[in-house]
Amino acid sequence: MRRLVLISPAAATCRGHFDELAGVEVVERYDLAETPDTSRLAAGLAGAWAVVAGGEPYDRTTLAAADDLRAIVRWGTGSDAIDVGAATAREVAVVTMPGANSEAVADLALTLMLGCLRRLPELEAAARGRDWRPPSPAGDLAEATVGIVGLGAIGRAVARRLRGFGCRVLAVEPAPDIDFCRHYEVEPASLADMLSQVDAVTLHTPLSPSTHHIIGAPELARLPRHAVVINTARGQLIDQPALVRALAEGAIAGAGLDVFEREPLPENDPLRTLPNVIVTGHAASFTRLGMGRTGEAVLAALRSMLHGRLPDGCLNPETWG
């Protein structure tokens, strides 16, 4: 029997289907999700052939202690918590689910964008209180200029939605799909050129050393004062203290954030109280569609590996003989 350890709590949404995998012993260790204790994580992986991983860190030390581990299967698309080089050196396949949750994440990105541009928290507070309506009009998504940073599966899903609003769409992407851009009238642009033109910017790029704090104080200063920032990707893409200053000083109009540099968001974090911020708790893919499609992709990857086939989404295929 091959031991499969379920760590991502999202795996519980399709728990019964893991029992259908032939020759697999399923162990549930949701208590290890997001743990910073790598020694505790390594102990939980003892004897594991594969793990369905959340956001917990898989570093060189953890991987060295997990002698039997042959696959880290991420419930999602990000791999920033995994030392892929160390995994490759130990012949551990790293598998992600590209595109599985793209529709759900794109929906929340548009929800946050609309909420920020229309100043939804302010509208609701006014209607619930004595003002009924704010004194000044809100912005619009219709015919707005929107910048997308990262034109992968989620970025493309956002671009498709924006077309229905008649938006001008600018995209920052090192290797854009030219046919997609032509069909959906997406204009490739540099980050510096894009920022000064937009009403909203939304982040959909993976976290890497080159994208860490891709939006910092200099980038926020380039944005028009009426612009809003949306992030449903990774919190570390934004210099959070710089964003708080820009929001508090009115340098930008608002932000819609599903991810943060520290998660859960600390109780005393100013982002919780700023009136021009909408926050959600890393829930962009936490929908019936998002969970269902990701679960199907995870199970398909595991079935492929059990039959000796290279799974889709493998970041280091050289490890899979």
Q: Is 183 a catalytic residue?
A: no
**CA gap 48, 203 in Å, rounded:** 35
**CA gap 167, 245 in Å, rounded:** 28
Question: 270-275: long-range contacts at Cβ-Cβ below 8 A with a sequence spacing of 24 or more?
Answer: 270/244, 271/240, 271/244, 274/244, 274/247, 274/248, 275/121, 275/122, 275/125
CA distances from 219 to 193, 235, 243, 277 (A): 10, 16, 10, 18
Q: Which of 234, 249, 293, 296 is catalytic?
A: 234
Q: Which of 91, 124, 185, 263 is catalytic?
A: 263
**CA gap 205, 273 in Å, rounded:** 27
Which residues have a Cβ under 8 Å from the Cβ of 13 and sit 6 or more positions away? 291, 292, 295
* CA triple 65-68-69, angle to 5 deg: 85
User: Roughly what angle, to the nearest 10 degrees, separates helices 153-163 and 102-117?
Assistant: 50
Structure tokens at 176: 């854009």
Q: Is 168 a catalytic residue?
A: no
Q: Which of 17, 90, 160, 282 is catalytic?
A: 282
Q: Is 263 a catalytic residue?
A: yes
The catalytic site residues sit at 234, 263, 282
